[in-house]
Each structure stands twice: as C-alpha cells, then as structure tokens.
Structure 1
Amino acid sequence: MKFTIERSIFLKSLSRVQGVVERRATVPILANIYLETRQTGLELRATDMDLEISETVFCEIERTGSATAPAYMVYDIMRKLPENARVNLEHYPEESQLVLCSGKSKFILKSLPVTDFPALVESTLPISFKVRAIDLRSLIERTRFAMSTEATRYYLNGIYLYAVHNAGVGVLRAIATDGYRLALAEVSLPKDAYNMPSVILPRKTVEELRTLIEETTTEITTSLSNTKIRFAFGQNTILISKLIDGTFPDCERVIPVNNNKTIEVNAKALAEAVSRVSTVMATDKARAVKLEVVRDSLVLSASNTTTNNNATDELDAVCDCTPLSIGFNSRYLLDILGQMTGDTVRFAVSDPSSPMMVREVADDSALYILMPMRV
C-alpha cells in the first residue's frame, strides 16, 4: 500500500475515527486504525469491538493495499506537521512497518497484521429510515447529561430511543435518567420509523455520534435491529454500534400527574443565581440549593455546613402556589437549566418531597424531572 494525502484531509478524518480507540487498550490491535486504499479512496476504520467508525476520503493512490497504524501516534504526528503539508505513506508488510514522510520529516511506525484487525460484522438491520441531523442532534443534546455512569445499572448508561404513537401522531422520543433526574425529548417520527424497536444507545456511542452530527446538515440514514444500529452520514462516514442488552425502566410511569403548583422565572437569571449561591458550597458534596416561594419572588439560599458560609439571592417570578420551600442538587438543576433556549422556564411541583417537572414555557417538546433534596 502506498498513497499521498493532504495533511488537512487526513487529520480531519483521523479526528473522527480515533475517538473510538481506547488509550489503554488491553488488546494491542485495538490501539490501531485500519487503513485501506481502494478505487473509492482511502478507508480509515477504528473499533473497540462494541463501536466502529469508518470513513472514506480522497487520496492519490500509487499502490492499493491495507495496513494498520497506531491510532494516537499517527494522529499526533499529523497534528504537529505544517498546516499545508502533504503526507506520503507506504506499507512494508515484510518488515511490519509503515513509513510516513512529509517534507524532510520521516516516521517509521510498527504495523500489526491486518488479519488481526476485527470488524464489527453488520448483521441484518431490518428497519431503515432517514432522520434529519438537526432532530437527532436535538434528542441527544437535550438528554445526554442525564445518562447514568453507574456500572451496576448498565441499562441506564445510555439514551433510550423509541417510537411513540398518540392519536395518529408519531414522535421519536429519547429518555435518559440516572435515578436522580430524568430528561425526555421528542421530535416528529421520521417516515419508515414506525416499526422500529425500542433501543438503548450506549454512552460512548452517544458521544461519538454527537461529534459526527456536529459536522452534518443533511439527513442521516439510520438502520437498526434489536442488537445493532448503523448511522450513515452520506456515502463516506459510517458508525456501527452494538446496543445495550437490557431493559430500560418504564420512566413514563414516574412522570408526575398532579403537580399543579407552578413557578415561572427567567431561565438565564435563575441559572446565574444558582451558580452564584452555590459558590459557598465548593467543599460541600451535597451542593444543595433551596428554592423558596415568597409572594411573587423566588428566593434562593445555600449553606456550607462545614465552613458555615451561606448565600442568598432573589428573583422575580410568577408563582401560582402557596408559600413553598424545596431543595435540589445545584449541579443537577444547572444541567437542566443549561438545556433551556427560551426565556422562561416553568417548574411544576406538588410538595417538597415529590419530583419536580421542568419545561420551557415556549417549547413542550422536552420535559425534565428532578428529585428534591432535604435542606
């Protein structure tokens, strides 16, 4: 294998695929990327056995073939080469070497056998549909912060994606929860997605998918089964992932139905106030902030039991409830407020010990649930 490629093209493609590679891969071949030159260009592929990303880019091919290369090593080399550099790569299979040259720079890298490089075999994916990049981005961005990181509850370590049909109207819904907060978002159901199975996208897949979507404006072809999912970004970039083999809890059952006490407040002002008062809790693991309704005001307070530092702040609010005092984890509350794009946020509560519902006043396509804390 021998080819020449623009450094900018190679670096951009490497940045897309190398995120899959584990820095401390226990299997040596998984620390490598797979390179193959064919008529369509240069294919780069990386996998961790659960997730695979491949991309095809243009290059000048002198000799077809395939090789493996240490992923992060090649990425770092490309990063440090001059901006307008051209790169020549040649594989010497007999010596198990990949020689990379650019200008007067030369690198000789170890290349493991291509036969050792695993492929995430695409089983039959019976359901296929196209989803707008803006819609998939919306589902991910508004829910991913609530994914759990607890290994024992692996089925919560991702985003639950499923189709919902209500009165002839279909929506594609995403839910994530860690048991302390829940995020739910939905978009119009894409054509041909009506019979899709309910699936759980793993955390790492969500993060890599998010990166790819950022550079996409067109529709994404999504194909899936009960065990795998495939996202195709045009003809050149493909992400294939195993799905979490578990049962996601019926979170819709925990959505409160009797939260008739409401508070409306400016979302940005509230986020800034929560951030201010929580400053005194820098050494407090609980990081609890208390919200108290006093007539047409929302009073925030926080205290550090270790240092005896405390803080208060007050905001104008529209309150349709009797005086109320309720506490929350400040970081969790800020995570939710960070999803707001409109001016006003609405809280709906029933009592200080029950979950609170959070929505934007101008957008009901997302819902957040936050468990209270004792303060």
Structure 2
Amino acid sequence: MKVTLERNHLLKSLGHVHRVVERRNTYPILANVLIKAADDGLDLRATDLDIEVTEHVPAMIGTPGTTTVPAHTLYEIIRKLADGAEVKLETDGSEQMSIISGRSRFHLACLSPEGFPDLKSGSFSHTFSMPAAALLELIERTQFAISNEETRYYLNGIYFHTITSDQTEVLRAVATDGHRMARAETTAPEGAAGMPGIIVPRKTVSEVQKLLDGAEGDVEVELSDTKIRFSVGGVVLLSKLIEGTFPDYDRVTPKNNDKLMSVDRATFATAVDRVSTIASERGGKAVKLSAGSGQLELSVTNPDHGTASEELAVEFEPESFEIGFNARYLLDIVGQIRSENVSFLFNDSGSPTLVQEEGDAKALYVLMPMRV
C-alpha cells in the first residue's frame, strides 16, 4: 500500500474514528484502526464491538491495500506533524506501516485486517433525515439525565420514540436516572412515524453529539429494533441499541402541580451555586427552597461547616411552601433552560417538581425532592 494525503484531512478523520477505540482491549485488534486504500482515497474504520465509525478520506493512491495499525498511536503521530504537511503511508507486505512526513519517519506494527470485526448492520425498518441542529438539541437537552447505574442498564441511554402530541407527530427524547428526568421533542421527520421505541447507549450519544457539533445540513438516521446508523458529513456511525424496556415516564410526569413559581434563571442559578458551596456530599448536597409572598429563601445547613442562605424576589402567590433538592441536580436542569425566567410547578414537599421554560413546551424536566 502506498498513499499520499494531506495531514489535516487525515487528522480530522482519525479524530472521528479513534474515539470509539478503548484504551484497554481483550482483543489486540480492537485497539487498531482499519485502513483501506482504494480508488480515490482511504476508508478508515474503528470499532469497540458496540459502535463502529467509518469515514472516507480523499487521498492519492499509488498502490491499493488494506491493513490495521494502533489507532491512538497513529492519531498522536498525525496530530504532532506540521499543519498542512504531506503524509505518506506505506506498507510493503511486511508487518509494519511506514509514516513519512518531511524529515519525520515512523514505523508502526500492523495486524492482519482479516481478523478485524465487522459490525454488520442488517436491515433497517425506518430511515429518515432531519436537521443536524434539531437532533443535537434533543441530545443536549436530555443527555445530562442519563443514568450511570449499570444495574438498571435500560436507563443508560436516551429513549427515542415518536408520539402524537397536540395532533402533531413528534420525535421525543427522554432520559432519567431515577432522581431527575429530561424530556425534549421536535417535529417528527418524514419516515420516522411508527418507528420502534429505541434506547441509544450513553457512549453512542456522546459520539453522535461530537459529530453533530458544528455540522451543517441534515443527518440521515436508519434504525431497527437492535441497531441505529447515523450518517453526517461523510462520517457513518453504526451502533447497537440497548435491549430492554424503558420505564413509563409519562406515569411519573406530574399532572396536578398547581403551585407556580417563576424566577429569573441566571439569578437563581448563581444563588443556588453560592449557597451550595458549604453543602456536604454526605448530606446529598441538599439545598432548601422556602417560598412565599413573592420571596424565595435558599438555605443550606451543614453540621460540619455551618449554614448559608440567600433571598431572591420571585413570582409566587401561596403564603408559604418548603421543599428540598439536590443542588447539583437542580443546577443541571436550570442550566438547560434558555428563557429568561424558569418556571417551577410544585405539588407538595414530597412530590416530584416540574421545571419548564416560559413559553416553550418542547422541553420539560422532572426533579425528585429531598428531605431537608
């Protein structure tokens, strides 16, 4: 194999594919990236057996060929070469690849491509295209609530499905860790109606988010009951889905919360962050909200360090109401709000609270209270 290409093009593509490669692998070949030189360029492919990323890179092909080399090492070599440099990749049938750029020469050990796994996609039941920005927004507004608890594996991702809301078909994304829930939706693209409810794993969500960040135009989505494939900007990401049943999130979404509190989002977030400085992890980083007659007091009590409190002006009609929350969870949710004010809908101090943007029903958040 003999290939010549521009360093920046190769670096960009390696940046996409090498991220799925785990640093530690039971099978040595999983640490490698598959490089196939043919026709008008290189095809790069990497996998961890759950996710597979493929990208095509324009290149001048002297001699076609296929091999695999350590993904992270190759990425670091190319990253440290001069910006805009010309790179030559060569193999001569031996067990090494030569990387030549200017006066720099590297030799990497190769493994036979015959043992490189292929995450076969199978057939897809639904295919649709949607603006990359719309899918990115669904991910960004829900990702923080994905659970890290491996025993409840079906919560370790974002649940995507279509539903009819106000006589309109929407694509909805939901994530929860049992303490908080995030839900966001957008108009369902043509071809998405009737798609199976799928749970996209946390790592896949993170990789797709990176691919979509700054992407223009549409992303093509193909899915079945077991796999999903995203195609955007020449990059193709294929992933297995989480097998399991996502809980009935609608059942835990408050329907009768009638105590409305509206507060300036930025002021509220800053105040919560300040008073939570002395909150203890042992106490669950608890912050108490005491509201009444247009006033809100935020307070934290830490037996080891002392107390903190701060008062804010709010729109709240009931004479008095108290409730406690985990400060970090509260800040995570408020951080997703984009309107100037944030709306809290309470029921009682022991029931879930609904958090929404003012004038936007496309996203809502549910937060479980704490005893304080």
TM range (shorter): over 0.9
Summarize the alignment of residues 199-278 of structure 1 with structure 2, pairs less than 5 Å apart: 199-234=198-233, 236-278=234-276
Summarize the alignment of residues 107-126 of structure 1 with structure 2, pairs less than 5 Å apart: 107-126=106-125
Separation of aligned partners in 1, 2:196 and 2:5:
41
Task: Find out whether 1:68 has 2:68 as its counterpart.
Answer: yes
Residue by residue, what CA displacement relative to the aligned partner does 1:133-167 show, whole Å, maximum 9, x if unpaired?
11101110000000001110000000000000135
Residue by residue, what CA displacement relative to the aligned partner does 1:285-336 show, whole Å, maximum 9, x if unpaired?
51001111032111101122222x2111111110133300100000000100
Separation of aligned partners in 2, 1:120 and 1:324:
54
Task: Find out whether 1:372 has 2:372 as its counterpart.
Answer: no
| Displacement after TM superposition at 1:126 (Å) | 2.0
Residue by residue, what CA displacement relative to the aligned partner does 1:226-277 show, whole Å, maximum 9, x if unpaired?
001111114x210100100101011111111110001000111111111111
Q: What is the one-letter code of the residue matched to 2:284?
A: A
Counterpart in the other structure of 1:80: 80
Root-mean-square deviation over aligned CA pairs: 1.2
| Displacement after TM superposition at 1:192 (Å) | 1.2
> How many residues end up aligned between the 2 structures?
372
| Displacement after TM superposition at 1:168 (Å) | 3.4
Q: Residue 374 of structure 1: SS of its match in structure 2? A: coil
Task: Find out whether 1:286 has 2:320 as its counterpart.
Answer: no
Percent of pairs with identical residues: 47
Separation of aligned partners in 1, 2:369 and 2:171:
29
Of 277-286 and 202-211, the range deviating more from structure 2: 277-286
Counterpart in the other structure of 1:352: 349
Counterpart in the other structure of 1:58: 58
Counterpart in the other structure of 1:322: 319
Q: Residue 252 of structure 1: SS of its match in structure 2? A: helix
Counterpart in the other structure of 1:30: 30
Structure 2: runs of 5+ lacking an equivalent: none
Q: What is the one-letter code of the residue matched to 1:11?
A: L
| Displacement after TM superposition at 1:62 (Å) | 0.8
Separation of aligned partners in 2, 1:297 and 1:360:
20
Residue by residue, what CA displacement relative to the aligned partner does 1:39-84 show, whole Å, maximum 9, x if unpaired?
2421111100110110101111111111111011011111111112
Counterpart in the other structure of 1:104: 103
Counterpart in the other structure of 1:306: 304
Of 319-328 and 171-180, the range deviating more from structure 2: 319-328
Separation of aligned partners in 1, 2:166 and 2:185:
16
Counterpart in the other structure of 2:90: 90
Counterpart in the other structure of 1:184: 183
Q: Residue 82 of structure 2: SS of its match in structure 1? A: coil
Q: Is the 8 A contact 1:284 1:305 kept in 2?
A: no
Separation of aligned partners in 2, 1:23 and 1:92:
28
Q: Is the 8 A contact 1:284 1:304 kept in 2?
A: no
Q: Residue 142 of structure 1: SS of its match in structure 2? A: helix
Q: Is the 8 A contact 2:40 2:60 kept in 1?
A: no
Counterpart in the other structure of 1:145: 144
Q: Is the 8 A contact 1:4 1:61 kept in 2?
A: yes
Q: Residue 92 of structure 1: SS of its match in structure 2? A: coil
Task: Find out whether 1:165 has 2:161 as its counterpart.
Answer: no
Separation of aligned partners in 2, 1:130 and 1:240:
16
Separation of aligned partners in 2, 1:15 and 1:310:
47
Structure 1: runs of 5+ lacking an equivalent: none
Moved over 6 A (4+): none
Change (3 A) 1:283 1:336: closer
Separation of aligned partners in 2, 1:50 and 1:92:
32
Q: Is the 8 A contact 1:130 1:219 kept in 2?
A: yes
Q: Is the 8 A contact 2:279 2:287 kept in 1?
A: no
Q: Residue 205 of structure 2: SS of its match in structure 1? A: helix
**TM-score in terms of structure 2 length:** 0.98
Of 268-277 and 316-325, the range deviating more from structure 2: 316-325
